[in-house]
Structure 1
Amino acid sequence: MATTDRHAHTLALAHALSAAERGLPVIPLSRTKLPALRSPHRSSPYREDPRPVLCRGECGRPGHGVHDATTNPALIRALFRAAPWATGYGIACGRPPHHLIGIDLDTTAGPDATESTAALQHLALRHLFTVPETVTVLTPSGGRHLWLTGPPDVVVPNSAGRLAPGIDIRGTGGYLVGPGSLATHGIYRLAPGTSHLAPAPCPGALLRLLTPPPHSHSHHPAGRPPDGHGLVQFVLAAHEGQRNTRLFWAACRAYENGLGEILADSLTEAAVRTGLSEHEARATIASAARLTAAP
């Protein structure tokens, strides 16, 4: 292991143990921000049954992603020993005692870098809540993660762009990259002035936005899904700095309404007209398809 990675591994373990002391369950992450340990049930030519194994750690072996998250120092050290290439750590959301909720404000370089922050403030004004002072983590790409806590009896689902373009939610079954982690593009750091804070309770009005009622198709006129014209126009209206975000949001909505395959080419064409390459556009749409297909 290179000296830099060895140093990053040691720091990540130290940060992870510190987070665990505060009641935050953690797992080791690779530079790609994905869980560092591969599933022990991954496909093998020696397995007779090709169906995926639905295991969340019941087998007792590591490699189950966020389901491995723990606050036990001995288990954390064992996970990091099993993944010496880990340079970061993830913090499981929705788990006691904090029931963490992550508000991921995806900001990119350019004139629209503050779009997601402005969108959150607009939601706050519209729904009459205040975004509280809370733990804030700065991402290498210029984004921000706001840490909030939720009530133990409320399950907040993960979502991408559901509230607004550029705002992703990390809830039950998701995780946040912890401060001090080294990823491919840099280090995650606590924002100045927030290191002394504890995660603030999620405002009630915001919590209601994060826990939408079960999806229903009955709200479409005469039972018909939307034709997708508005989603295409939404992508066409994108400016530099928001093109990928808008495309991803529109593609998620299209797949949620059963229009993903129908609109894929139109959304790609719209994105190309705004300046994205066809390869970038199709990769973004494919990401939306994978996300919305997840259970």
Structure 2
Amino acid sequence: MSAWSRARDAALYAIGHGYAVFPLGINKIPAIRSPHEKGHACRGECGQPGHGVHDATTDPAYARQLFSLATGARGYGIACGGKFIGLDLDRKNGVDGVASLNQLADKHGCAIPPTLTVCTPSGGYHLWLTIPDGVTVPNSAGRLGPGIDIRGTGGYLVGPGSQGRTGRYELHPTRGQADLLPAPAELIQLMLPTPIPRPTRQYVPTGDKAGAALDGLVNVVLGAPDGTRNDRLYWAAAKAWAHVMDGHMAACDAEAALVEAAVRRGLAEAEAIRTIASARRSAA
């Protein structure tokens, strides 16, 4: 049996266990070339294959179609995120991710469960762990410690049965097809990004015309009833950009004040920035 056939069959086996898969080349990168120019932002919305982990599927028929397009595939990726994450423990170049994880567990008083484990060609391991509903763990490299990479939302692990350039990925010889066990709560907490405290801003009328106008727009956002916050922010931003284009208000002051007001009213900062930017484009 060819390496391509072994990879395809292993991927289909993984689908049978509920995992979403997509084909990988021998260098552990997606095997289907992107249909877009470099720098695109598409994550598969175009409907074409070639979007890496965003091609991942639990549909056997579509997986076969992906592999038929990836004649150079020698492995497959398993999409992480949702209820499932992976710890990639490297053991190479003088770094021992297993030792780092054990030290971390000892320091924080938690035990690493004997969950499903994949042996990697470098002598390291991939530990597959479950996380609670509603928890989003981001990808990171070395954040937990030397040789420890986290494969969370938007990431993937190389599936067992894949062929890498330096060897094969195989299930742990004693654990085999073990059940996925929960990640310790202490470990999950360490995986999550540290919240950045935001200084509160007190809006005090400045007395000048521009300041009074901006204060009024800020109060519109702060006083928005639930269900109207984004609409009120857009309206206030459009008014503010009109003042900016007339030369009556500084752009940096308008944007900072409206973002701060929107966050205080309960909108996510990224969402507020997008709404304000959209109002700016319309005003222009």
Quickly name the TM-score band, shorter chain normalised: 0.5 to 0.7
Deviations 1:102-123 (A, max 9, x none): 11111027xx56x321221111
Deviations 1:189-224 (A, max 9, x none): 111112131111111111101112235799xxxxxx
Instruction: Kindly indicate whether residue 128 of structure 2 is the aligned counterpart of residue 147 of structure 1.
Output: yes
DSSP 3-state at the match of 2:91: coil
Query: Which residue among 58, 77, 83 is the counterpart of 2:45?
Result: 58
8 Å CA contact retained: 2:90, 2:148? yes
Query: Which residue among 103, 107, 112 is the counterpart of 2:87?
Result: 103
The letter for the 2-side match of 1:119 is S
Query: Which residue among 180, 195, 208 is the counterpart of 2:189?
Result: 208
Query: Which residue among 113, 129, 150 is the counterpart of 1:169?
Result: 150
Give the structure 2 partner of residue 92 of structure 1.
Answer: 79
Deviations 1:50-100 (A, max 9, x none): xx33211111100011011011000000000010110100000004xxx22
8 Å CA contact retained: 2:97, 2:124? no
For the residues of structure 1 that align with 2:65 and 2:196, how far apart are their CA atoms?
A: 41
DSSP 3-state at the match of 1:117: helix
Give the structure 2 partner of residue 237 of structure 1.
Answer: none
The letter for the 1-side match of 2:104 is L
Matches within 5 A, 1:133-282: 133-214=114-195
Query: Which residue among 98, 104, 107 is the counterpart of 1:126?
Result: 107
**How many residue pairs are counted as aligned between the two chains?**
199
Instruction: Kindly indicate whether residue 21 of structure 2 is the aligned counterpart of residue 26 of structure 1.
Output: yes
For the residues of structure 2 that align with 1:56 and 1:152, how far apart are their CA atoms?
A: 24
Instruction: Kindly indicate whether residue 9 of structure 2 is the aligned counterpart of residue 14 of structure 1.
Output: yes
Deviations 1:114-136 (A, max 9, x none): x3212211111111110000111
Give the structure 1 partner of residue 209 of structure 2.
Answer: none
Give the structure 2 partner of residue 253 of structure 1.
Answer: none
The letter for the 2-side match of 1:201 is P
DSSP 3-state at the match of 1:152: coil
Percent sequence identity is 54
Alignment root-mean-square deviation, CA: 1.7
Give the structure 1 partner of residue 57 of structure 2.
Answer: 70
Higher Rg of the two aligned structures: 2
For the residues of structure 1 that align with 2:35 and 2:99, how far apart are their CA atoms?
A: 43
DSSP 3-state at the match of 2:6: helix
Structure 2: segments with no counterpart, 5+ residues: 200-284
TM-score by length of structure 1 reads 0.64
DSSP 3-state at the match of 1:155: coil
Deviations 1:148-185 (A, max 9, x none): 01123011000000011111111000000001000111
For the residues of structure 2 that align with 1:17 and 1:124, how far apart are their CA atoms?
A: 35
DSSP 3-state at the match of 2:31: coil
DSSP 3-state at the match of 2:118: strand
TM-score by length of structure 2 reads 0.67
The letter for the 2-side match of 1:179 is P
The letter for the 1-side match of 2:116 is V
Deviations 1:265-284 (A, max 9, x none): xxxxxxxxxxxxxxxxxxxx
For the residues of structure 2 that align with 1:66 and 1:196, how far apart are their CA atoms?
A: 23
